[in-house]
Amino acid sequence: MTYDLYIGDYAYSSWSLRGWLLFEKFGIGRNTTLVDFSDKSVAEQLTKIAPARTVPAVKTPEGAILSDSLAIAEELTTRHPDAGFWPSDPGARATARNLAAEMHSGFFTLRNDCPMNLRLSYADSSPSEDLRKDIQRLETIWEHARATYGASGPWLCGSYSVADVFYAPVAARIAGYNLPVGAVAQAYVDTHLADPAFRRWRAMGFARGATLPWYAKDYPPRPWPGPEPLAAKAVDNGTPENAYCPYSGKPSTHLMELNGRIFGMCNAFCRDKTVADPEAWPAFIALQ
């Protein structure tokens, strides 16, 4: 038996990104169901796991329903104590827990003014004074964590933890809206943008789901500031080098081209997520 994870649109659902990272980054198996943000309401699509009515939501192997991201994090921590959800050092762990809790309950101006949109980045979003106060608070707590417990790695408390899960969509917002931050905060944002798991999530946002116009803002656009993906494309014809999909092991039926070479996947989603960012997928890179 395994967990059932329900998530929303890859490009727009910031809380779903957190829920997915809790499983992806810590190696926890799950079956994933995508809730369509362009269809009927989220609550209607979750009736079979009531009382959950928002995403992410999790059904545990024995049938318990978790519908809050912090509750999901803590329950997974209890069930998988060796997975490394929180730092082992007591001071770092306390700091990480406080960071996650503050994100969970605060930064409302940032959330309201800058809804996550991984399909776009803006050159200038003209942040309000209240938004700048949220940014200043982020810089204060990030710099404190990095200075006190961050020496062992690039994440807030050194190694990756639940705190970084909770701030991944914040990094996406800072990148997407080109929000003004100092060197320490910018380095932390860049670490998220380069993280292969974050890149996989963003790639899936291009492979599945429509562009939802109500998330767009009337700001001048700019290129996405993260690592530039390799130039791949979907193709209709050719003989793939791999007879079987690197993800499922099923026969290759959908083709892509990279550097003049043809590769195959078992379905359009596997192909398109790879085309969006080939280097984000270890199973595909292993074919090189």
What type of residue sits at position 66? Answer: L
94 and 183 belong to one structural domain: yes
Q: What is the pLDDT of residues 86-132, one digit of tens each?
A: 999 999 999 999 999 999 999 999 999 999 999 999 999 999 999 99
183 and 96 belong to one structural domain: yes
Q: From residue 193, how far is each of 78, 105, 268 by CA, in Å?
A: 29, 24, 25
Residue 39, pLDDT > 80, answer no
Residue 40, pLDDT > 70, answer no
Domain count, the chain: 3
pLDDT band at 187 (very low <50, low <70, confident <90, very high): very high
Q: What distance in Å separates the CA atoms of residue 59 and residue 40, rounded to the nearest whole number?
A: 21
pLDDT band at 36 (very low <50, low <70, confident <90, very high): confident
Q: What is the pTM of this model?
A: 0.96
pLDDT band at 23 (very low <50, low <70, confident <90, very high): very high
66 and 46 belong to one structural domain: yes
Residue 209, pLDDT > 90, answer no
Q: 260: domain range?
A: 232-285
75 and 94 belong to one structural domain: no
Mean pLDDT in residue range 269-284 = 98
Residue 52, pLDDT > 90, answer yes
Q: What distance in Å separates the CA atoms of residue 242 and residue 269, rounded to the nearest whole number?
A: 17
186 and 116 belong to one structural domain: yes
pLDDT band at 218 (very low <50, low <70, confident <90, very high): very high
Q: What is the CATH number of the domain that holds 166?
A: 1.20.1050.10
Would 45 be classed as within a structural domain?
A: yes
Per-residue model confidence (pLDDT) at position 1: 67
